[in-house]
Amino acid sequence: MEKTTPNLMNMLHQLIAIPSMSSVNPSFDTSNRAVIDLLAGWFEALGFTVQVMPLPRQPHKANLIATIGPVQEHGKNQGLMLAGHTDTVPCEEKFWRFNPFRLTERENRLYGLGTADMKSFFALIIEAFKRFDASRFKRPLVVLATADEESSMEGAAMLVEKTRPPVRYAVIGEPTGLKPANAHKGMVMDGIRLIGRGGHSSNPTLGLNAMESMHQVLGELMRWRNDLQRRYQDNRFAVPVPTLNLGHIHGGDNPNRICDQCEVHFDLRLLPGMDVQSVHDELHARLTALFAGTEIKWECFPLKPGTPPMLTPQDSRIVRNCELYSQADAHAVAFCTEGPYLTQLGIETVILGPGNIAQAHQPDEYLALSNVQPYVDILAELIAEHCL
């Protein structure tokens, strides 16, 4: 079969050269479409059936699903999905030693924005795939490339709403230093806004002080945190309890005016077994009880959509195979991924990728060259195991 994609280094160069930063802040946000179109061309050339799916709320961005090998309409598909995101975080070029949009090879490392997190992954998939004659596949290989993982997670959310990929197992190539991860925490980032009534500070009865009410909210949040930490523990994690961080507070304007508005932002990390909706329900119940019979107005709002925690059972076939081919035990990681969206679709998922999360989301992001060939070998073993 004719394989008409560029060589590995050339593919990496092209992927890094195209900016695909996503951010909830519009001034840092760019489309991922050029990366999707580049990948679509490569996977088509390799014989994949390629579907480009624009995001409903941001049609200038898109997911890509590329499929090869026999898909059984009925019966159980056991194939493999290799999944990752095409967006990166924004970067501050002035703190970089090298141009973040130009792949630079130095010190046995490949520098560039998205080298570790995680555009390189797609070139490495192609490198592994080129070892196979896909006409011999008995089960499908599906490549998923999403949009907006670093911001709204809309790409993953659309996947859950609109598709049913014909696979039972998935590997997400987020940077884990070639060691498989079968668990991560979830994340909720919320704000609570209190509205009281302003007035002259000399007579407190003229107003309703939102800052004083916020003092009660902070106490309630800390009691809730202690309660959650008593109820949930998981020793797979370096921090084995759910955490709640009070990260931002703003209220009032002047010492001689009764504070009429106060807002707090916090981040809650969920353990497997907790879910985003019930956490929100609990918080609402606590705030409702706290302010029952008072005049204070309150609202709780998400700063970004919550990400559920992920846990794939240790005895899942994909966990065991990832352990086997990477020669490492499955562990838990501290960062969130699109994995929970795949598990919602009934796809058993492992996080296993080249590069290190410690190099992601910061200047001089790099992928160690020593990770490249071993990772291509791992992918080839997984494809052979699950698709042949």
Return the active site residues: 87, 149
Residue 109 phi/psi, 5-degree rounding, is -130, 150
Binding track, positions 157-176, relative to Zn ion; x by CB under 5 A: -----------------x--
- Comparing CB distances to Zn ion, the nearer of 137 and 375 is 375
Q: How far is the CB of 322 from Zn ion (least distance, A)?
A: 18
Binding track, positions 174-213, relative to Zn ion; x by CB under 5 A: x---------------------------------------
- Comparing CB distances to Zn ion, the nearer of 175 and 251 is 175
* Interactions with Zn ion, residue window 31-50 (CB under 5 A): none
- Do residues 351 and 339 touch, judged by C-beta distance below 8 A? yes
Contact status: 338 vs Zn ion (CB under 5 A): no
Q: From CA 198, how far away is CA 257, in angstroms rounded? A: 7
Q: How far is the CB of 45 from Zn ion (least distance, A)?
A: 26
The two three-digit tokens of residue 102, written as one number: 């130009």
Contact status: 148 vs Zn ion (CB under 5 A): no
**DSSP state, 235?**
T
Q: How far is the CB of 272 from Zn ion (least distance, A)?
A: 20
* 3-class secondary-structure state, position 156: helix
Q: How far is the CB of 85 from Zn ion (least distance, A)?
A: 6
Q: From CA 263, how far away is CA 105, in angstroms rounded? A: 46
* Interactions with Zn ion, residue window 51-80 (CB under 5 A): none
Which residue, among 94, 170, 172, 121, has the nearest Cα to 15 in the 3D structure? 121
Which residues, other chains included, contact 285 with Cβ-Cβ below 8 Å and sequence gap of 6+?
none
Amino acid, single-letter form, for residue 355:
G
* 3-class secondary-structure state, position 165: coil
Contact status: 117 vs Zn ion (CB under 5 A): yes
- Report the interface residues with Zn ion, using CB under 5 A: 117-118, 174
